[in-house]
Amino acid sequence: MSLQELPVELLHRIYDHCDERDVANFRLVSRLLATVGSEHILPEAFAHVARESFDNISAIARSTVAKGVRSLCFYAARLDDLQTFDRWDEERRSSDPHAHKEAYGLLDLDYRRERTPPEVQSERSMRRYRRNLGRSINVGRGHYSKPALLSAFKAYQQLYADQKCLRREGLARKAFAALFRSCTKLDTVTLTMANELRITKNHGVKAFRKAMIYPFSDNHARYYAGVHALESVLLGAHDGGRSIRRLAVQPVAHTFFELPPPVAKQIYEVAAGIKELHIGLESVFDDRFSEANELIYERMMYDLKSHKVAEFVQAATNLTTLSIGGPLTLNDLSNVHLHCLVGAGSRWQHLSTLALRMFSCTDTELDALLFSHRSTLRRLELDSAHFTEGTWEGFLERIAGKLDALRTMRFREELSSDTEGIYTEFMHEYYGGLRSDNEDSDDSVEEYGDSEVEQWTAAMESYIVKGGESMPRPEDFFDLDNLDMDW
């Protein structure tokens, strides 16, 4: 039997296992495979806070490619309120150093093809070459003519006003509802800003290109960052009669979870179907220069004690994966308590992966959470954790080799406690080596290479999984007399 003779249902199953390039090549084989493959062309839909983007989402919902959409990525950043041309121009120059690459499309010639001298070097062609080369260099540096800048500033003002209208119109919720209704395979949602979860090509949106400015956050309303965006997605899924299997959102302000009862009921119905959940809370109490506002911090901590975040997490009763982190704290401010994130006495019957970041609790509270999942937990990650009571040394000895199903352990950043200070540090999130800044040197000096840190981290992770007669000691890996850390 040839491929052409297979039932259409089997061809769809084959396409399900193909990536985008394979789908494109497979569709070239015959008209039948091209027709079947048309439903698998677009595995992921992208959305930004722009009218043209939501119109595009609605168009996808009406097209045949909707059947192949499996995931939605929503880049939810919005423009700041830059009221004057000077403020806009300053932000334009600093917001995205890579965005200016797209500015070639604003000019009347393709300067990227004008980087080499013309073969026929007439005086006219050479003048054009030098002029275009100079203009392309200026564009690359973010330099434009005054009329072009004034036109872009006007486009920015219109886009900023339109983003406010979009919220009042509820266009995002309507577009997402249509998408969920049409895309029967859509079960994965990623909502992010500032490229925290993934790199998104927001500069490809025509509206942002015209305004020469590209949003990266919700800075003008950080206490409510991502609130409307996440609400639009989840209510859109509810309106579309669908559930979400995988939800990843970072950053989002804790205020999203303070839902009025009618809205909470609808959103919790969607949450009940979530099996893989990732949440990263926004640091709403610091500005873009990382200066902490302690009054806003105290307000946030007071809000979190209502346990609304934990209530949402507990509504996802079928979780197999939970990754959650409190906001990054500065100036020695305390981490959010673990119970504010996951609740007290929480138990998920099938939880196999647990990742906890930037939290505080007592050693017995973390004990209780882990041992209540000892028969199902296969992967555990701890990142920037603090004990308000108890010690890490005693806790780690108690759980080592005792979590029956555990196969993978990951430590990142530091473990600290009120009694021990910084108990230990592990591999950092973005690089392996421990670095010490020397004020007398121009460069950051690497005190210990990746190998020592990786060996120490791997030894502790293996100890937690397998247990052993004695816990690894830092002095076996580092020269503590010359290490600028409080072990």
HEC string of 394-452 equals HHHHHHCCCCCCCCEEEEEEEEEECCCEEEEECCCCCCCCEEECCCCCCCCEEEECHHH
Same domain, yes or no: 94 and 221 = no
Residue 156 lies in a domain: no
pLDDT of residue 483: 54
- Whether residue 135 is found in the same domain as residue 223: no
pLDDT score for 132: 64
Q: What is the pLDDT of residue 462?
A: 95
Mean pLDDT to the nearest integer, 73-78: 91
HEC string of 251-306 equals EECHHHHCCCHHHHHHHHHHHCCCCEEEEEECCCCECCCCCECHHHHHHHHHHHCC
Residue 109 lies in a domain: yes
112 plus 230 within the same structural domain: no
How confident is residue 104, by pLDDT bands cut at 50, 70 and 90? Answer: very low
Choose one of 150, 173, 195: the last residue of a domain: 150
Q: Which band of pLDDT confidence, cut at 50, 70 and 90, is reported for residue 112? A: very low
pLDDT tens digits for range 357-388: 999 999 999 999 999 999 999 999 999 999 99
Structural domain count, the chain: 3
Residue 220 — very low, low, confident or very high, per pLDDT cuts 50/70/90? low
Task: Out of 43-52, 111-120, 347-356, 413-422, pick the least confident.
Answer: 111-120
On whether residue 487 sits in a domain, the answer given is no
Residues 186 and 135 both lie in one domain: no
Is the predicted pLDDT of residue 100 greater than 50, yes or no?
no
Residue 468: both structure tokens together: 């052993």
Query: What is the rounded distance in angstroms from the CA atom of residue 280 to the CA atom of residue 328?
Result: 9
Identify the weakest region by mean pLDDT among 138-152, 248-262, 426-440, 465-479. 426-440
| Predicted confidence (pLDDT) at residue 273 exceeds the cutoff of 50 | yes
Boundaries of domain holding 228: 44-79+161-482
Domain shared by 393 and 287, yes or no? yes
Residues 451 and 363 grouped into a single domain: yes
Residue 134 inside a domain? The answer is yes
Evaluate if residue 102 carries a pLDDT over 50: no
Is the residue at 142 inside a domain? yes
Which is nearest to 144 in space by CA: 99, 187, 82? 99
Note whether 240 and 107 are same-domain residues: no
Position 205 pLDDT exceeds 90: no
Q: What is the chain's mean pLDDT, rounded?
A: 81
Question: In this predicted structure, which of 49-53, 249-253, 425-429 has the lowest mean pLDDT?
Answer: 425-429
pLDDT at 13 over 90: no
Same domain, 342 and 419: yes
Looking at 124, 150, 176, the residue that finishes a domain is 150
Alpha carbons 409 and 457: distance in angstroms, whole number: 10
- Tokens 């009025």 — which residue? 260
- Judged against a pLDDT cut of 90, whether residue 93 lies above it is answered with no
Tens-digit pLDDT profile for residues 157-184:
999 999 989 988 999 999 999 999 999 9
Q: What is the pLDDT of residue 475?
A: 79
Res 105: pLDDT: 32
Residues 90 and 56 in one domain: no
368, part of any domain: yes
328 & 452 share domain: yes
Residue 155 lies inside a defined structural domain of this protein: no
Query: What is the C-alpha separation between 311 and 279, in angstroms, rounded?
Result: 13
- The pLDDT tens digits for 285-319 are 655 555 667 888 888 999 999 999 999 999 999 99
Q: Are residues 282 and 369 in the same domain?
A: yes
Where is the domain boundary, 118, 150, 182?
A: 150
Classify residue 98: in a domain, yes or no: yes
**Are residue 284 and residue 297 in the same domain, yes or no?**
yes
CA–CA distances in Å: residue 122 to residues 109, 129, 133, 343:
19, 10, 16, 76
